Amino acid sequence: MLYELEFNPTKHRSIVTGCSYILTVITLFLIYSGLRQYQLWYRRSKQKAHAVGKFNSPILSRTYRWGRWLNHSVRIPLLSPNIDAKSLLYILLLIVFNAVFILEIPIPVYTQQRLPFVNFYYAGLRCAILGVANISLAITLATRNSIIKLISTKSFDEVMPLHRWHATMGLTEIAIHVSTQLYGHFPLFQTGTFFIAENGDLISGFMATIGLLCIFLGSRDYIRRRYFEVFYISHVFGILLFIGAGFTHQYAVIIFVAPSVFLYFSDRIIRAVRTWTSPTKIIDVSAFSQKDITQIVFAKDGLYTKAHPGQFVFVSLNDGTRLSRFVNFFNWHPFTLSEVFYRNVSEVLDHDKETATTTSHHYNDIDSEIGKRTSVVKKEDGPLKASVHIKSLGNMTRRLHCQASNEPQRLKMRIDGPYGSTATALEMNQVVTFFEAGIGITPSLTMFRDLVEKCAHDPLMVHTTHIYFIWVTASIEIAQIFIPQLLQSVHIANGAVNPPKITFQLYLTTRLPMGIYENPLPHCDVIQGRPNSLDIVSRIDDDHLNSSIAAQVCGPADFMREVNNSCNARGWRVRQETFEF
């Protein structure tokens, strides 16, 4: 017999190769996590030293010139509309790393004349094993509450690109394996005997590949953003088909998939318990007519509900009927928190509704505009009270906007989260800039609010002296939705001992006659047209040549790529709110 095809986990070298690959990846991950933990510890210790006056120099400096190319973003068709060089470097190393494990084939060969075929066959076999190993890693990376987040300090959305890359690598390797099998069993297709019962292992492998293709096709950006139900169902159906058919095809699949499936279902149980033991109550629903934006203010009781700026939640909505509850039981959609309340929500909402009825805001009357809001106090632990602003893009969000306009009282809500990065560290920079486009303002609202509250409450820990807020939106009517939150943040900043200088720039892409509305914010320039990010960055940089500058960017992929490259060229520290869903 030329080679042994019987499954034996102790002798089958391909299984050993797959296990070695996973152990090597875990080792590299632990090394990275250790370096990451040290970096965060060093930054915190330096920040504390600044607070007691041991250092006078800035905590953060400009990024090094030799390292800026790693943060440069490009657009690659069919792969990503906005991907940076360090991510491409990771993908390249991942390809090389997998190629080394595939091509290193110390398998005894009994017939030297068949050496090329044996190498070709076993390379395809190892592609299958490594493909399953990469998919197992991708499943682990998709868990929302896992040890990965705890060790690496990376949030769930920050590891999602790794999930996609390992899943794509696994699909590619399995496609190579399928190609080698089709080449070796081509006579079965010629005779029409491929799908007979005796070829059950081939049929099961074919079905497992179909499951992966369902996941791949359902993960396209257009489907994910507009038809999230299709994205979710394709994942559930595809992974179940892959695991079931894959286990039938080769028992070795269970060795790699079982730990990941265990972690995923453990995470799913944790999420279910938190959701059912922490009920969510809708406080207010507002559907802004002709603006396709729905605001939901909610409160969630229980533990694990502390929110940080820029985080997001998974939301399940239904109209209270049994059918709707059943259909939406597994139907969860991610949305960014636009505001987190730490005081009496009803008072804040009363003021927001009053200001929303006006068509203009006088920045000279900030105190009177914010008069009905409660005084600024320190944050306290307790139930999560927050809001989300939802733009109508897909079927679900359009239905939600329609129901919020007609029957908001019937809406029922469940929340999973919050998730996302908890360490923005914007206050460690002397200058902070916010670049937003459209609904991308929602994460920046909470970050802006958090930054000015730190200026007011913890001045010794904050080094920010200037804040620039640049927002691109369609019309002044849409801007009116978020103006009250910005005004309150300005009011909080003005109460600081050393208030930062705040400058606003509002770009309106809809052409309207100028002068028909008054300036909505203090120190605000209202400009019609689209911004030139390079000019804006250059102007700010020239005014703060020796300062550390950070930029928070959120919006469409092309907008973020342009702003990121402009800021990165000047050595700014850029945080992109990619929202990987």
Segment 83-110, tens digit of pLDDT = 888 888 888 999 988 888 887 644 444 4
The 8-class DSSP code of residue 374 comes to P
Tell me how far apart the terminal alpha carbons of the chain are, to the nearest angstrom: 50
User: Using CA atoms, how far apart are residues 391 and 400, in angstroms rounded to an integer?
Assistant: 10
The whole-number pLDDT of residue 348 equals 41
More confident residue, 134 or 194: 134
In contact, 555 and 45? CB cutoff 8 Å:
no
**484 vs 53, residue with greater confidence:** 484
Question: 140-192, pLDDT tens digit by residue?
Answer: 888 877 777 777 777 777 788 888 889 999 999 888 888 887 776 666 655 65
Mean pLDDT estimate for the chain: 75
Q: What is the pLDDT of residues 433-444, one digit of tens each?
A: 999 888 888 888
Average the pLDDT over each of 8-17, 120-129, 455-464, 500-509 and give the range with the smallest value: 8-17
Buried b (16+ CB within 10 A) or exposed e, 380-394: eeeebbbbbbbbbeb
**In this predicted model, what pLDDT tens digit does every residue of 252-308 receive, in sequence order?**
788 888 888 888 888 888 887 877 777 788 888 777 765 677 888 888 876 555 677
Strand extents, DSSP E, 308-362: 312-318, 333-341
Name the DSSP letter for residue 290.
T
Neighbours of 443 (CB within 10 A): 26
Whole-angstrom distance, CA of residue 352 vs CA of residue 342: 16
Q: How far is CA 14 from the centre of its chain?
A: 35
Q: 483 vs 12, 187, 478, CA distance in Å?
A: 65, 69, 9
323 burial class (0-12, 13-18, 19+ CB within 10 angstroms)? exposed
Q: Assign 581 a pLDDT band (cuts: 50, 70, 90).
A: low
pLDDT at 9 > cutoff 60: no
Top pLDDT among 22 and 579 is at 22
pLDDT, tens digit (0-9, with 9 covering 90-100), for 272-285: 787 777 778 888 87
What domains sit in the chain, N to C, each tagged with a CATH number? 13-23+58-273 (no CATH), 278-342+377-419 (2.40.30), 426-576 (3.40.50.80)
Kindly state the average pLDDT of the residues 331-349. 64
Q: Structure pTM? A: 0.74
Cross-strand pairs, 466: 431, 501
17-64 per-position pLDDT tens digit: 778 888 888 888 888 888 888 877 777 776 666 554 444 444 556 666
380 pLDDT higher than 70? no
